[in-house]
């Protein structure tokens, strides 16, 4: 995903929603049916990773600086239970890309934690509109 396009989408969203971003939900998904041993790293397999892994990370990276500046916000990266249950002909590319996204999301939560010394790993869950 092109960074310039992401910046443009973010700018449009900020303008539309009054220069606030409360939540971003990355729920895109692509799959590929077939034997990994035959598909290998074909362009279709790379597309699964582009959609399921790289694009959510790029979208997150585009909005997190704004969320940090605002002091709140939530990024939700939707993964799948198939990431821990390998399925022949279906789960290889899809499951591994969603597993990679889950791991990257855990690391991202630690990176954006408000207090890395106290063990608080809540990230930016608190919203300006919530009571907490």
Tell me the per-residue pLDDT of 10-31, one tens digit each, with 9 for 90 and over.
788 888 888 788 899 999 899 9
Task: Tell me whether residue 42 is in a domain.
Answer: yes
User: Active-site residue among 19, 49, 93, 94?
Assistant: 93
How many domains, the chain?
1
**pLDDT exceeds 70 at position 116:** no
Q: Quote the pTM value.
A: 0.78
**pLDDT exceeds 90 at position 132:** no
**Structural domain range at position 11:** 3-108
**pLDDT exceeds 60 at position 125:** no
DSSP 26-72: E-------S-HHHHTT-HHHHHHHIIIIIHHHHHHHHHHHHHHHHT-
Residue 93 is a catalytic residue = yes
Average pLDDT value for residue range 42-70? 91
Which CATH number does the domain housing residue 93 bear? Answer: 3.40.50.720
């Amino acid at each position: 995903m092109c960074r310039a396009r992401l910046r443009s989408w973010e700018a449009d969203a900020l303008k539309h929603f009054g220069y606030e971003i409360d939540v971003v939900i990355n729920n895109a998904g692509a799959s590929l049916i077939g034997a990994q041993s035959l598909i290998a790293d074909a362009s279709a397999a790379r597309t699964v990773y582009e959609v399921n892994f790289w694009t959510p990370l790029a979208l997150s990276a585009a909005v997190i600086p704004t969320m940090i500046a605002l002091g709140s916000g939530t990024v939700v990266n939707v993964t799948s239970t198939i990431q821990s249950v390998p399925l022949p002909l279906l789960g290889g590319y899809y499951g591994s890309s969603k597993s990679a996204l889950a791991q990257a999301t855990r690391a991202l939560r630690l990176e954006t934690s408000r207090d890395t010394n106290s063990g608080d790993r809540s990230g930016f869950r608190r919203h300006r509109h919530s009571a907490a």
